[in-house]
Structure formats: C-alpha cells, structure tokens
C-alpha cells in the first residue's frame, strides 16, 4: 500500500496481526522490501510484520534524490507514527542496519528489539567515499544495468552466483528498476553517514546480529567485533551465504530470527 509520509509517497506491506509484536524490516541498498519475502512468509501470523520501500527504492517515490541517513530515519519514525506503533523491533540488513542503528541512537525509547544483518556501525573512510563517488559516475555514464551486473557479484557469495541463479536474477531485476537519481542520492547518503560505534554500548534492548560466512562487504570478524560492544548481543554466522544472508541461506537465517523473537516474546 502507498501512504503519504514526510511529503513523500512510501510503499509498505503488512502481514499478520496488527495487535501483535511489531517487527519492521528495513532493506539494503539498492533493493526493496521484496528481499524480505523469505522472512515475511515464515513469520507466525501472531506477529505484526511490516516491510517498506526506503525512499527512492521499490515503489516508494524518488523525490529530489537529496538523501541522508537522517532523512531515512525520519521516514522510519514517521512510518511508526502512521501505524501508531509506540515501539517496534527493527530488523535491518546492510543499509537497513545503518538506519536502524541511527534510529535507536536518536530515539531508543521507540524500539524494544534490534536485529542487525550484514551491517556495520563504522562510517565510511576516505577510500570508501571515493569508491562510492566512482560508482555514482559509473551509474550515470554506463547505466543501471551495468551497475546491477557488477553489484550482484559483490553481494552474493561466489557459489551463490551459480547455485542460486533465480535469486541473483531477482536482485538484479530489483536494482535495474531503481532510478539512477535514487542510486546516486543513496550512495551520497551512505558516504556521509555518521559513525554509530560509540552508541553501541548504550543499546539496552535484546539484539541479534547475523552475517554471511562469505560476506565480502561486512566480514564476519568485523560483525563479531561490533557485537562485542552491545551488551548481551547474540551473534551468528550464516553458512554458505554472502552479504544477502537472509536470501542465500533463509532456513538458517530464519531459525535464528524465530528463536530470537520467541525469546523476546517471553521477556514481554
């Protein structure tokens, strides 16, 4: 469904019981809410599951392309207000994790759980910022299809590129439908994001971290290091998966997700 939030048209889907424990799934760059279907399809109907398209992605409006992580956080909070959710569990992968971490840093009272997949708290260094600038130039000169063909090689484990062709093509098609302005604007937002590492020890909600065994963008060691800063955090490496661990090994990812949610329900 399309809703008007922050002078912007946002696309979202809801599954389950609107009175149940709310879980908001925040996708990575440059994907859409559809990447979360393997999780949405297995969640018991007692949960209030929400997945949405970040500004400029999926069916959400592109707007002017002048994006920041702060704006993405504003959109997330506006979505929670629209749905009348005082609190929710935030589940973010990659860019979605950046948004979730900044959101809980800004408004810890709005979240009662945190799931971070294939993401990091550190900001880009100069080399990474320069690389993002190069990607923007490439998208504008060579087009989105060429970018998509290169990008899937980064986010999927090498074996997935041949063993999971359907998933690779699925992600490639999502990227190809993304407006170049949105890709460029999001890359600028990612390059300019703040470092949330100092806020990690202040996280006081149950936190689950997962990372693909073969994630080339966020290494398991870096993810485990980040988990060490969060009090009581649970950490798992997802075998036979790259940066898209929720897609590449959904059964294992989902097992940890459901175990975590079950324990969270007990705490309630």
Q: For residues 185 and 179, what is the distance between their CA atoms, to the nearest angstrom?
A: 10
pTM above 0.95, yes or no: yes
Per-residue model confidence (pLDDT) at position 268: 61
Q: For residues 224 and 176, what is the distance between their CA atoms, to the nearest angstrom?
A: 32
Q: Average pLDDT of 165-191?
A: 98
**E strands along the chain, which residues?**
2-5, 8-16, 22-26, 48-52, 88-93, 111-117, 207-212, 234-238
Domains plus CATH for the chain?
Answer: 2-267 (3.40.50.1820)
Q: For residues 57 and 175, what is the distance between their CA atoms, to the nearest angstrom?
A: 9
- pLDDT tens for each residue of 203-260: 999 999 999 999 999 999 999 999 999 999 999 999 999 999 999 999 999 999 999 9
CB environment 43-54: b (16+ within 10 A), e (fewer): beeebbbbbbbb
């Amino acid at each position: 469904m399309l809703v008007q939030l922050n002078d912007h048209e946002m696309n979202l889907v809801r599954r389950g019981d609107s009175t149940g424990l709310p879980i908001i799934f925040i996708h990575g760059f440059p994907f859409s809410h559809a990447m979360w279907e393997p999780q949405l399809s297995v969640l018991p109907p007692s949960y209030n599951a929400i997945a949405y398209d970040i500004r400029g992605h999926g069916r959400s409006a592109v707007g002017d392309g002048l994006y920041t992580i702060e704006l993405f956080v504003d959109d997330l909070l506006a979505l929670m207000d629209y749905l009348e959710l005082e609190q929710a569990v935030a589940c973010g992968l990659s860019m979605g994790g950046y948004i979730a971490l900044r959101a809980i840093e800004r408004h810890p009272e709005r979240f009662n759980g945190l799931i971070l997949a294939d993401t990091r708290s550190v900001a880009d260094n100069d080399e990474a910022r320069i690389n993002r600038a190069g990607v923007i130039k490439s998208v504008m000169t060579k087009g989105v299809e060429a970018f998509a063909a290169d990008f899937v090689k980064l986010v999927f484990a090498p074996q997935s590129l041949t063993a999971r062709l359907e998933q690779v093509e699925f992600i490639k098609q999502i990227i190809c439908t993304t407006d170049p302005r949105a890709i460029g604007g999001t890359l600028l937002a990612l390059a300019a994001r703040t470092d949330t590492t100092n806020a990690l020890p202040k996280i006081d909600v149950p936190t689950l971290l997962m990372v693909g065994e073969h994630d080339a963008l966020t290494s398991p060691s870096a993810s485990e290091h980040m988990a060490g800063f969060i009090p009581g955090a649970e950490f798992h490496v997802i075998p036979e998966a790259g940066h898209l661990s929720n897609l590449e090994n959904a059964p294992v990812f989902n097992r940890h997700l459901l175990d975590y949610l079950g324990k969270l329900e007990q705490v309630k």
